Amino acid sequence: MDVLWQYQFRIILLGDSTVGKSSLLKRFTDGVYSDVADPTVGVDFYARSLDIEPGVKIKLQLWDTAGQERFRSITTSYYRNSVGGLLVFDLTNRKSFEHVRDWHREVSEHVLPHHMVFLLIGHKSDLGRERRVPREEAERLAAALGVRYVETSAKSNSNVERAFQMLARDVYELMRSGEIATRDGWDGVKSGFNGKILLPADEEPAPESKCQC
């Protein structure tokens, strides 16, 4: 009964191939980073808990999608059961920035009539001299999409914890205000009895870990 969580949020990572989604997740969940990373095949699964405020622990189920187009039919099936999305682009790759609107549109259309909570991430902030997207431009895009923006680096471990905290907090606030509610047949958000919980994380049925489907 060590780890208790009050709520569980399903979060999905989206963005072009090589922007650094898997590296961001490995840094967040395992505290590791490698300059050599294989492209994700289909979808991978990670998990970690966060304390959102004293006494409130959130379990994050994190779905890492392949950015490569050939896996798109697999990854789209994971959109609907997610409450939050990290829209990731590479600060040194303008094309990946220009594709953010496409990712946002594609996911938003899939989850209609419901909404997903997004956070825009400009990744690889350690590569300052190779930057191709000014912060102001990314902030303008975030404002246009109605989402928050943060710059991260898995390599130098900058803002990684903060990014997940920001998204989890946004979901949590919307849940408290009643704008997001649990629904039958939807796994985006789960809570225990009476909203206080009581499910030890290690007693929860394990999802298909490291799903390569």
Contact footprint for Mg ion (CB under 5 A):
21-22, 40
Q: Which residues contact 126 (CB under 8 A, 6 or more apart)?
A: 153, 155, 156, 158
Candidates 22, 75, 93, 159; binder of ligand GTP (CB under 6 A) is: 22
Taking CB under 6 A as the rule, does residue 150 contact ligand GTP?
no
Taking CB under 6 A as the rule, does residue 190 contact ligand GTP?
no
Question: Which entry of Mg ion, ligand GTP, none binds 35, CB below 5 to 8 A by partner kind?
Answer: ligand GTP
Q: Which of residues 98-127 bind ligand GTP (CB under 6 A)?
A: 123-124, 126-127
Taking CB under 6 A as the rule, does residue 40 contact ligand GTP?
yes
Let me know: does 13 contact 100? Beta carbons within 8 Å: no
Torsion of CA 28, 94, 128, 107, to 10 degrees: -20
Q: How far apart are CA 165 and CA 37, in angstroms?
A: 25
Residue sitting closest to ligand GTP (CB)? 67
Taking CB under 6 A as the rule, does residue 128 contact ligand GTP?
no
Q: Could you write out the DSSP letters of every residue in 46-67? A: EEEEEEEETTEEEEEEEEEE--
Taking CB under 6 A as the rule, does residue 18 contact ligand GTP?
yes
Taking CB under 6 A as the rule, does residue 153 contact ligand GTP?
yes
Q: How many residues contact ligand GTP, by CB under 6 A?
A: 22
**25 or 197: CB nearest ligand GTP:** 25
Taking CB under 6 A as the rule, does residue 43 contact ligand GTP?
no
3-state SS string for 13-25: EECCCCCCHHHHH
- Burial letters for 13-25: b for 16+ Cβ neighbours within 10 Å, e otherwise? bbbbebbbbbbbb
Contacting range for ligand GTP; rule: CB under 6 A; set: 65-73, 108-116, 135-143, 180-188: 65-73
Q: Which residues contact 104 (CB under 8 A, 6 or more apart)?
A: 87, 118, 145
Positions in the binding site for ligand GTP (CB under 6 A): 17-23, 34-35, 37, 39-40, 66-68, 123-124, 126-127, 153-155
